[in-house]
Structures are given as C-alpha cells and as structure tokens.
Amino acid sequence: MKFMCACILMLMSLAVNCQTLLEDTTVLAPVEVLASRATDKMPVAKNNLSRAEIEKLNTGQDLPFVLQYLPSVVINSDAGNGFGYTGIRIRGTDATRINVTLNGIPYNDAESQGTFFVDIPDFASSAGSVQVQRGLGTSSVGTGSFGGSINISTNEINRKQETRILTTAGSYGTLRNAVLYNSGIFSKNFLVDARLSRISSNGYVDRASSDLFAGQLSTAYVSKKQNLRFNLISGKEKTYLAWNGIDKETLKTDRTFNPSGTEKPGEPYENETDNYWQHHYQLFYNRELNKKWKLNTAMFLTRGHGYYEQYKSEATLANYFLPDYTDGADTITSSDLVRRLHLNNNYYGMLFSFHHRNSKRNLIAGGGYTKYDGKHFGTVESVVIPVKIPTNLRWYNNHANKTELSAFIKWSERISKKWETFTDVQFRMPNYSINGFRNNPELKQDHEWVFVNPKAGISFTHNRYKAYFSAGFAEKEPNRDDFEAGINEVPKPENMLDLELGYEYKSQKAFVAVNFYYMYYRDQLILTGKINDVGAYTRTNTDKSYRTGVELQGTWRPLHKLQFAGNLTLSENKILDFTEYLDDYDNGGQAEKFYSKTNISYSPAVTG
C-alpha cells in the first residue's frame, strides 16, 4: 500500500509537469463496459447513474447506499450507518444472485457469489457511471443474474485536469477524507487518474467500528483508434464483527446491542474483528478495427487475503488439534481461546468482445475464461490455559478451485423506424471442486455444469415514448455453503423464467416508467430451517416459487435546479408447496410444517 501511494504521488507530479490538453482529440468510449450494458432501446428494465448523479448521493458510504433510491432496491448495514459491511437486494433477491462487474470484470466472489464492497472502500468516488438492470438483464461474465445486475465503470476519459479534496464528518464518530486527481490528457495521448481514501467510524451498533483505507491508480494511452489502460484498485478494511442478529425482545430494549465478542468474561473481546486486503489488477486493450468493428480484450487478477478473529469460550481443545492440559490430578480438555479464520485467494482470467454496428444492426459477441484458487484455513492465536500451540498449526485447511468458460452473443436489429428486436444467448460452463469444509473436512465436492441462457425481446420507440417486452431463461450454480448440506443432499442448480413488459415516457422536464415483471423459479435455493449433516442451517431447493409485481418511477423537473423523483414497487413473492423445519426442543429433532403458499423471506410486498 505504501508503494502504491508513492506511485500515485509520483504520477500526479509527472502529469502536472507534462499537461497539454487536446481539445480536438476523439477517444474511444469504454468498450469493455458496453459489452455488458443495455442500450436505451433494449427491452430491459434499467437505471443509469452518471458521474454527476453519483457525486450528489455519495458521502463515502458503501455503494449500496448510493443505489438505495432506485426501484426495487433494499439495502442494509451491519454497523447501522452504511460503513463497514453492507448488503443490497433487488426485487427481494440477495447479492449472491446479483451480477456485479467493475469495468466489465466480474466482482462477485466466485465461491460465495456475494459482493463485499467494504473491501474497496469509497469506490463510488471513482465511479464514472453505473447501470443497474432488474431481472435477468443482458448477458455478462461472472455470477448468473437472477434478480439484477450492477455494472460499474471507472474507465471514462476525464479530459479536464483537476484535484479534489473531499471531507465528510457525521454521527457516531464518522470521518471520511479523500483526495482525487485527474490529469486530463497530456503529451497528446496519456492520462492518469488517482484516488486515496481513508474512512473511520464507530458505527451505530455497539463496537461496530470501521477503519478503512483505499487507493486507486489508473493510467492510459488513448488515441482515435486504440486505447491501452491499466487499473490498480486496492482496499484494506478492519471492521468489528456486527453481523450476528439479536432477538425481538433485545431489540425492543437495547437496539444497538452487539453479541460479538461477548463470549469473553467481563468486557467484550476488543479485537473481534474482520481484517481483509483486496487488490484488483486490470489491463484493457481496445481497438477500432474499422468503421463497423471494434475489439476489446481484458486481463485481470483479483488478489484477496485476510481473516476474522474471534474469542471462543470453553472450546474443546481436541477440535483445534491442541493437547489436553494436566493440572495435577485433573485433566482439562477445554479452554477459552482466540482463533482466526483465514481466506487467501486469487481470481484471474481473460475476457474479450467484438462489437459490430451499422445503421440497422448492433452485434456484440464475446466470452472469457476465469479461474479461482481459494485457501480456507484456521489458526489459534492464544489459549487461556498454558498449553503449547504447535508451530504452523492449522486446525482446518481446505482448498477450493473454480473455473469458468463462457461465451455470449447479443444482437439488436432495427426492423423499422419504430421497432427493434433483441436476441441474447449466453453459454456458461462452471467447474467447481471443494476439498472439504471447516466443519466437515471429509466432505469433498466436484461438479461441472453446462448452462445455456437465452433471452429475446422487442421494443417500440416513437418520439418520447417507448414500450417493450422480453422473455428470458437462465440457470445458475449453487454457492459454497449450499454444498455443505451433505453427501446425500447435493443441491441442484436454480433456474428461472423472466417476463418483462414496460412503458416509458421521456421529455426534457419529465420521465415516467411502468414495468411489469413475472419471475418464475424452479429449484430456488432458500432457507427452510432444515439442519444439514453437520448441524448447520442450509439452503434447500424448493420446487416452485415466483416473484411478480409492478415497478413505477417518475421524475419531474419544473425548474432547472429543482427536481422531484420517486418510485414504488408493488409485488407478490411466494413459495408454493413449502415445508418448514422447526427445532423441537421438547421432543428432540425437528418438526415439519407444510404450507401450500407462503411468503419468500426478506421480500417486502411494498418498496419505494
């Protein structure tokens, strides 16, 4: 991180000394972003945020808080104030089913399929644009989109040289400081963008503190025919654990209570923290082959490593491969201890896309190959009783590998002045192997899938009006936790049919949109309360479920600097023929309760 800071400062100085702004240079748009985004005429429910709109909403909180005002979006924060770990849902679906890309490169964790924006703090300050699609949307790389997708771009060309210093102070000891620098174009073809951010907060929840640092460096060569760009995005986070829930009675009397760290006698353990470093290396090459064809290639490496630390009371020593302790005539088999759960991973790959465009046709064909290597292991930092901790002790040590080969083709055809068709077919071939789990080291998993995900639609555009219809089908693989259910309960892939029907009106002063959707699932993975082979609650495939609703949004600008905006989603989210499992504390085991139709958890019927 110190090396990165030095590089940023050196390049800032170089760019200032060589500043020569070219007013007449025409540079290529970020083609790597266009490959995964929907255009205005595509039959897709979506919202676009420009740099100016992002800046108005950005106070240094995680990206979900910038997106919280979009249709069908619900967010949450572990710490209660938007710093540290946050979450986002679109149409009730969680982050494991939302495809997220940074400059067209997959950001979802390959194993959990979740997104952890805390690992790249204050990233919204570098974003040039964001597109959020709802439903299946258009094909992209990475995790399958089952509720929506978020495409973030930082690769826009900043022509203007500027240096900005941002400071935000708020409740609960919150302080954000950031320095941003854009060189503009110098020496005819070069540019440098850089950012350093530091955020600290005590959090609303007890002890839910955050200590966050981030840096970003982007250098590029740009010309009329080709671009070459390198991005380095780095983040470091230390957050006190606050992801454990509390019961309703405690919530009524002590809303900020945090159970993390309370296993320690007396005062809670002060270092019950999550510590993680993440570094993104991205290299892009774009070239205009001729007036109709463009090529984009990208290579990336995402490096992550870290751990979270916990105080455990009365832990059985044998479970940590520690010897029993003999105290005179007594043999002690358990003790309080401090442990760390580590994750060390590399995620890398190569992506490409070809773009063809003429007066009637827009064709994008692309694909890529990605690989993930993950190491999960645990260490013991200290033990209350005086037992010797063996050198290099790892009380669990599991590896996982995941590869994916993917390809897609997207074809828009203007069949008349008002009508345009859209066809999209994606091919995915993930392969996932797991060499055991922390609580079930003998359970091995090795799976390969082949998914073909087609989509098609049609749109009608006339003056200020647009109407569209689309239908799509998609499948996606289970995540790591789903496979710990047991050797005899291997989860099946989820699949979904998505129907979208929408209408939009747009003028200089007003925008109105109405979108109806119906998302029908087979084998959706949900929590049923059922306990797996190692005594943990796990997600289970449910035969049939659906989400359906209407999304309303509108904007009115009566004056140049006065704007009113709002949105409302009314939905029904149901599971059909559902069996709930409840712990039976009186008789032991679990009791079953059947529902012919019940609500899907965390899916409110009204959002806005």
Per-residue pLDDT tens over the stretch 149-178: 999 999 999 888 999 999 999 999 999 999
Residue 70 reports pLDDT greater than 80? yes
Q: pLDDT (tens digit, 9 = 90+) per residue, 105-137?
A: 999 999 999 999 999 999 999 999 999 999 999
What is the rounded distance in angstroms from the CA atom of residue 475 to the CA atom of residue 430?
A: 11
Count of residues for the chain? 608
Contact of 368 with 332, CB cutoff 8 Å: no
Note the pLDDT of residue 582. Answer: 82
Mean pLDDT over residues 77-85, rounded?
Answer: 95
Global confidence as pTM = 0.92
Name residues whose C-beta falls within 8 Å of residue 176's C-beta, 6 or more positions apart in sequence.
Answer: 59, 60, 122, 166, 167, 168, 169, 197, 198, 199
What is the rounded distance in angstroms from the CA atom of residue 241 to the CA atom of residue 344?
A: 19
Residue 514, CA distances (Å) to 43, 46, 111, 136 in order: 13, 11, 36, 17
Q: pLDDT (tens digit, 9 = 90+) per residue, 199-239?
A: 999 999 999 999 999 999 999 999 999 999 999 999 999 99
Q: What beta strand segments (E) does 39-154 contain?
A: 45-50, 73-77, 86-90, 98-102, 105-106, 129-134, 148-153
Domains and CATH numbers, the chain: 2-607 (2.40.170.20)
3-state helix vs strand vs coil in the chain, percent to 5? 10, 55, 35
Note the pLDDT of residue 6. Answer: 41
pLDDT-above-70 percentage for the chain:
94
Q: Where are the alpha helices (DSSP H) in 155-194?
A: none
Contact of 429 with 449, CB cutoff 8 Å: yes
Residue 18 is classified by DSSP as T
